[in-house]
A and B are shown apart, each in its own frame.
Chain A
Amino acid sequence: MSNMKSVYGTGKDNYTAKIRLKSTVLFIWFVILTIICLLPIYILIINATRENSEIANGISFIPGTNLGKNITKLFKDVNYRTVYDVWIGYRNSLFITGFATVFTVFFSAMTAYGIHVYDFKLKEISYTVILLVMMVPVQVTSAGFVSFMLKLKLTDTYWPLIVPSIAAPAVVYFMRSYMKSSFPLDIVEAARIDGCNEFRTFVSIAIPMMKPAIAVQAIFAFIASWNNFYTPNMILISSKFKQKTLPMMVSAIQASDKFTDYGAIYLAIALSILPIVIVYILLSRFIIAGVALGGVKE
């Protein structure tokens, strides 16, 4: 009897020891990965505060003292401001991103609502079409898109960057699945009996009920639109500086020979990712949950 107990006991100890060892090894591995994930961003921030010659001669993990001078250079020096003006960049990016985000979530919710709530002949077909077009890559249609926009004389305007966001198949798909699980049709009928018209039912009953789905998709639409470099770069052809979005300005640094101060370059890059990092820090929990729900892959 006692013999058996001791056998059982050591077995258990062995098991816990094994688990503990594995957990520790994995913890160290995760820490290494965390360092790899954060190191480039950390060096970016540190270098934004250092002087040109310091950056050329060595790396440092302690902030420098040159942030003020870098800021003055980036904001005041004419050579830099003709390539990269962070306020114009923020303004343009925010304008496009704001409209695109609102359009994406509102019209996607509306389309999903239309398909979910009403019965009509083309219902299933239209939904299948939406699912099919989800997979077509942007790059495939871009040649035809640009030549069409040239014909309409819409290049160098923001219209082709904002209006297409009304049709976001992946977001419609997500909203439809959300409605299936948590939007009972009885509510619509109850609203009808109370004399609510159809559009008002959607705006003042369906949209508030769908807040969680709308919030998640709004975050993703915001990030995708803010980060978009490809579409603005192909539509804003004349490269008027006042029109450029922030990613376009960052990419101009790389092609410019006027940008010679590394401190200012790092500062410019850091400022370009600052808003999105702040959004991420505030909303990371929702974002991770949204990805897990089958969030869209760019």
Chain B
Amino acid sequence: MASAAQRRIKSISYAKYGYLFILPFFIVYFIFQLWPLINTFIISFKGNGNAEALETYVGFDNYKAILFGGENRAIKMVHQKFLASLVNTVILWVGNFIPQIILSLSLAVWFTEANLKIPGKGFFKIVMYLPNIITAASVAVLFLQLCGEAENGPGALNLLLNKMGVVSQDATSEKYDTIKFITGVWQSRGVVMFIQTWMWFGNTMIMLMSGIQGINPSLFEAAAIDGASSGQVFRKITFPLLSPIMAYTLVTSMIGGLQMFDIPYLYHKDPNKVSDNLKTVAVYIYEYFHDIVSPKMGYAGAASVILFFITLVLGCIAFYLTRDKDEIAKKKQRKKIAQQAKRESKQFGGLSI
């Protein structure tokens, strides 16, 4: 029997406390996230340059300039720079995602394989995650030092490659035939891709591992009893059942790739000038709104809105594809079962058993 106090409590409505508890979150969210997002949309329709221009509405001019360019040389540059930044972003993302996912997936499978006797798994995991927690700005400057050439020397990485016999040294002048890891187009991109992979493969590996551990272990046992090879287990069990998490990884990595900023922004020797081969969309936007002399808020806003919609579409596509596959398979199975049940019931003269 409920006590008087218990009954009284049941009759009190606590709804107002619910609102009170979530209020700080939503106030801060509206001021510092939602309004800035709306504000980005608003400034994308305003001008660029001085204070007056920043307050004038220009309609879709910024979008036109970014997406299609124009006769004016300055506007043409805006368009070309945007296209270049988009290409750079895609190149850098693909170049880091493919090695990253291959590495992470294979490592995750090997780490979770029960019959392999590898000592120190915990240690390996900890070491492989380490690069992810180190300040990206420091990582960029560190690699800049390692890959760069000193005034009177070839730099650490070139020296290492020389010892390994990759980089040759001229016998008479003692000059090294160095690889230009900072100024070269593909060399610098390669280094940035390497840094991104180096920083993120541990994180992806651990997420995929927790996904594999979430798969029903009896499936692996059954496969082992049936004599399936580890390749078969991967193709028939691990990979299909892992696809939702793979999709999640793909989406977060894509969104992360579109945000790529710290390392491309800092990986250059020329002070205050980001390398053109590494300018990502995030760097492009940043440079426009951070221009202290004449802020190009309009272009920055319009590019941000375009980035927003790209993110939205990518997210939707990836989630739609994976969810649909699962659903289709389930539907097919359900249909099959229903058909079989029908057939069976016909066999037994329409009697349901």
11 contacts between A and B (CB under 8 A): A27-B118, A56-B153, A59-B160, A136-B308, A137-B259, A138-B259, A139-B259, A144-B37, A227-B133, A276-B134, A291-B207
CB within 8 Å of B: which of A119-174? 119-123, 126, 130, 133, 135-148, 160, 163-164, 166-167, 169, 172
Interface residues in B258-315 (C-beta closer than 8 Å to A):
258-259, 261-262, 266, 268-269, 271-272, 281-282, 285-286, 288-290, 292, 297, 300-301, 304-305, 307-308, 311, 315
Closest 7 CB pairs of A and B: A114-B21, A118-B18, A144-B39, A144-B40, A56-B153, A145-B36, A247-B137
Chain A positions within 8 Å of B, measured between CB atoms, are 19-20, 22-23, 26-27, 30, 33-34, 36-38, 40-41, 43-44, 47, 53, 55-59, 107-108, 110-111, 113-115, 117-123, 126, 130, 133, 135-148, 160, 163-164, 166-167, 169, 172, 189, 192-193, 198, 202, 223, 226-227, 229-230, 234, 237, 246-248, 250-251, 253-257, 262, 265-266, 269, 272-273, 276-277, 279-280, 284-285, 287-288, 291-294, 297-298
Chain B residue contacts of A146, Cβ below 8 A: 289-290
Complex Cα gap A175–B350 (Å) = 53
In the bound complex, what is the Cα–Cα distance between A142 and B285 (angstroms)?
9
Also in contact, A136 and B135, with CB within 8 A (given A34-B128, A37-B130, A291-B207)? no
Number of A-B contacts (CB under 8 A): 303
Q: Are A140 and B141 in contact (CB under 8 A)?
A: no
Contact A118:B15 (CB < 8 A) given known A137-B307, A167-B28: yes
Q: Is the CB of A160 within 8 A of B126?
A: no
Closest A residue to B286 by CB, please name it. Answer: A234
Distance between A64 CB and nearest chain B CB, rounded to angstroms:
14
**Chain A residue with the shortest CB-CB distance to B34:** A133
Chain B: CB-nearest residue to A234: B290
Q: Give the distance in Å from the alpha carbon of A44 to the alpha carbon of B140 in the complex.
A: 12
Please tell me if B246 contacts chain A, counting CB pairs below 8 Å: no
- Measured in the bound complex, the distance between the Cα atoms of B115 and A20 in whole Å is 10
Of the stretches B67-75, B144-152, B320-328, the one at the interface is: B144-152
Task: Pick the contact of B209: A141, A167, A227, A292 (CB < 8 A).
Answer: A292
B145 touches A265 (CB 8 A): yes
Q: Within B94-133, which residues are at the interface with A (CB < 8 Å)?
A: 107, 110, 115-119, 122, 124-131, 133
A272–B36 CB distance below 8 A: no
- B349 contacts chain A at the CB level, 8 A cutoff: no
A135 to B, closest residue via Cβ: B315
Query: In the docked arrangement, what's the CA distance between A160 and B32, Å?
Result: 8
Which residue of the partner chain B has the closest CB to A33? B128
**A237 engages B292 (CB within 8 Å):** yes
Q: Is residue B14 within 8 Å, beta carbon to beta carbon, of the partner chain?
A: yes
Do B142 and A44 have beta carbons less than 8 Å apart? yes
Give the distance in Å from the alpha carbon of A9 to the alpha carbon of B193 in the complex.
49
Asked if B348 is at the interface of the complex by the 8 Å CB criterion, the answer is no
> A288 touching B22 by the CB < 8 A rule?
no
A288 to B151, CA, bound (A): 42
Partner of A227, one of B135, B163, B308: B135
Contacts A142-B285, A229-B137 given; does A22 touch B40 at CB 8 Å? no
Extra inter-chain contacts (16) besides given A115-B18, A250-B141, CB under 8 Å: A27-B119, A34-B127, A43-B146, A59-B163, A111-B21, A115-B21, A119-B15, A137-B311, A139-B258, A139-B281, A234-B289, A234-B290, A262-B145, A262-B150, A291-B129, A292-B207
A57 to chain B, nearest CB (A): 6
Is B33's beta carbon under 8 Å from chain A?
yes
In the complex, A56→B140 CA distance in Å? 19
Q: Contacts of A135 on B, CB cut-off 8 Å?
A: 251, 255, 311, 315
Residues of A within 8 A of B16 (CB): 120
Asked if B156 and A43 make an inter-chain contact with CB atoms under 8 angstroms apart, the answer reads yes
A55 touches B21 (CB 8 A): no
A23:B262 contact, CB within 8 angstroms: no
